[in-house]
Amino acid sequence: MPGLNIIVASADGQRFYAALEAAAAAAALGRPARIFLQGEAAALLRTPVAFDGDIGRRAAGQPDLVSLIAEAMAMDVRLIVCQSGMALIGMTASELVPQVRTGGLVSFLSEAGPTDQLLTY
């Protein structure tokens, strides 16, 4: 089954949340899903994880960002953070959410299958 590969290209919590929802939905359908956080988007996986929409999400009965990350990872959605992006924002691997991989865009794209879908948020 074709996989879903998503690039989050900005440090926008709303976009990352939407990318996580799409990846979790794909995983629920049995499709492999991966998310690559490029450039400054690496900051979205710096602990402690939070974004401005968390309060509204919780009030609406939806998971906050950190809970959605945990749910997606439990569904085998793979999260990869750009090493160059981490350097750009002065972040180290010890600041990442546990079980998140670091890598580069070339390796991310090289692991995509020929029939996989690629989305950018």
The verdict on residue 100 lying in a domain is no
The percent of residues in the chain predicted with pLDDT above 70, rounded, is 100
What are the pLDDT digits (tens) for 13-28?
999 999 999 999 999 9
The verdict on residue 17 lying in a domain is yes
CATH code where residue 35 lies: 3.40.1260.10
Q: Is the pLDDT of residue 77 over 90?
A: yes
Range of the domain at 68: 4-93+105-120
pTM above 0.85, yes or no: yes
- Mean pLDDT value across the chain: 96
The verdict on residue 99 lying in a domain is no
Over its C-alpha atoms, the chain yields an Rg (Å, rounded) of 14
What contacts 62, CB < 8 A, 6 or more positions away? none
What contacts 97, CB < 8 A, 6 or more positions away? 45, 47, 49, 66, 69, 79
The verdict on residue 98 lying in a domain is no
Q: Is the pLDDT of residue 1 over 90?
A: no
* Count of the separate structural domains present in the chain: 1
What are the pLDDT digits (tens) for 47-59?
999 999 999 999 9
What are the pLDDT digits (tens) for 96-107?
999 999 999 999
Give the Cα separation of 2 and 94 in Å (integer): 32
